[in-house]
Amino acid sequence: MNIHLLIENLTNPALLFFVLGIIAVYVKSDLEIPENSSKFISLYLLFAIGFKGGQELSHETFTNEIGWSMLFGISISALIPLYTFFILKRKLNVFDAGAIAAAYGSVSAVTFVTAVSYLESQQLSLHGHMVAIMALMESPAIIVGLVLISIFNKEEQASRIKIPAVIKHSLTNGSVLLILGSLVIGYLANAKQAEGIKPFTNDLFKGFLAIFLLDMGITSGRKLQSFFSFGIFPLLFAIVIPLLNGCIVAIVSSFVTTDITNRFMFAVLAASASYIAVPAAMKITVPKANPGLYLPMALAVTFPVNITIGMPLYFLCVQNF
């Protein structure tokens, strides 16, 4: 079962397009996705997953389990940067430790979208409230990371980090706003109205995901070229910590929900690392943090680890524990 799941995921066309993107960089091909097209596809994916989640949510009744699940998601997002910061601080400066901790506490919308596709390959469907939980998990990690930098940085600039501005920036971040807005619109639209755009939100989804992952592969390949100059520690962290977080949350989530799909998505969210919202926030608030470190860790190492080894491993955990 384990080998079957791994092989099935490794032969997924979307993943193979990601690998093709990395190969294109290393053979010095001129293959690239135009920036405007790449941005459109990423917006489309967020819109589609948000809208479909809203539709699913409209059929759900708000229960204690959903309430506890939301609280659980926010707690994961706040706790992961708390413990990872102290591991990172042993080898890195406070700015880099805080930025990386925030990235690994926050979530990756693209990893989430890929996980939805993985569930569909297992003939399972996502529950709508998990989309809302993903959006809620974007901000707490950024805030915790910045607070930790403020506490442990001895320089004066630390006191100038304005937490209210950070919260506002996190909530108005384009990706968060689009997925939350699409969720609400999907929730409000009745089944007949939603049917009209179903070919766009459902039928085209996997094709757009494959092209987007090709673009991610090209970006990752470029980032990897300079990443190895930082030594072995960032590489080991970017592989081990996400797998550890994912497996622990896959098991612990059984105390919050018994649903396999919810537990799997919690594991994926805990294992993923943000390379959109966190870098945008850090660029504004902590310019001393090195994007040449936290960006390749999240995008070029953790992302492919999650979509190759991680997802079959987390799925196995939720099935057996």
Residues 34-80 pLDDT 10s:
988 888 888 888 788 788 878 877 887 889 999 999 999 999 999 99
Would you state the torsion angle of the CA atoms of residues 174, 206, 239, 20, taken in this order, to the nearest 10 degrees? -110
Angular region, 183: left φ>0, alpha ψ -120 to 50, beta rest = alpha
Tell me what the pLDDT averaged over the chain comes to: 86
CATH class of 2-26+33-320: mainly alpha
For the stretch 122-147, pLDDT in tens is 899 888 889 889 888 877 898 888 88
Quick check: 228 pLDDT over 60? Answer: yes
Closest CA to 298 of 105, 94, 66: 105
Using an 8 Å Cβ cutoff, are 313 and 247 in contact?
yes
Hey, where are the domains in the chain?
2-26+33-320
Using an 8 Å Cβ cutoff, are 275 and 303 in contact?
yes
Average of per-residue pLDDT across 4-30: 81
190 CB burial (10 A radius; 0-12, 13-18, 19+): exposed
Quick check: 258 pLDDT over 60? Answer: yes
Place of tokens 């105390």: 255
Quick check: 98 pLDDT over 90? Answer: yes
Amino acid at 278: V
Predicted TM-score (pTM) of the model is: 0.80
Using an 8 Å Cβ cutoff, are 312 and 5 in contact?
yes
- Tokens read off for 12: 């997924």
Give Cα separations from 186 to 38, 107, 221 (angstroms).
24, 22, 36
317 CB burial (10 A radius; 0-12, 13-18, 19+): buried
Average of per-residue pLDDT across 171-189: 79
158 band by pLDDT with thresholds 50, 70 and 90 = very low
Quick check: 288 pLDDT over 70? Answer: yes
Q: What is the DSSP string of 208-271?
A: HHHHHHHHHHHHHHHHHHHHGGG-HHHHHHHHHHHHHHHHHHHHHGGGT---HHHHHHHHHHHH
CA distance 17 to 24: 10
DSSP for residue 60? S
Using an 8 Å Cβ cutoff, are 273 and 301 in contact?
no
Share of the chain above pLDDT 70, in %: 90
- Tokens read off for 316: 């196995």
Helix, strand or coil, per DSSP, at residue 113 = helix
55 CB burial (10 A radius; 0-12, 13-18, 19+): buried
Residue 124, phi then psi, degrees to nearest 5: -125, 155
299 band by pLDDT with thresholds 50, 70 and 90 = confident
1 band by pLDDT with thresholds 50, 70 and 90 = very low
Amino acid at 248: I
DSSP for residue 158? G
Helices (H) and strands (E) in the chain, counts: 19, 0
- Tokens read off for 189: 């639209």
Can you give the pLDDT at residue 19? 86
CA distance 312 to 271: 13
Quick check: 237 pLDDT over 90? Answer: yes
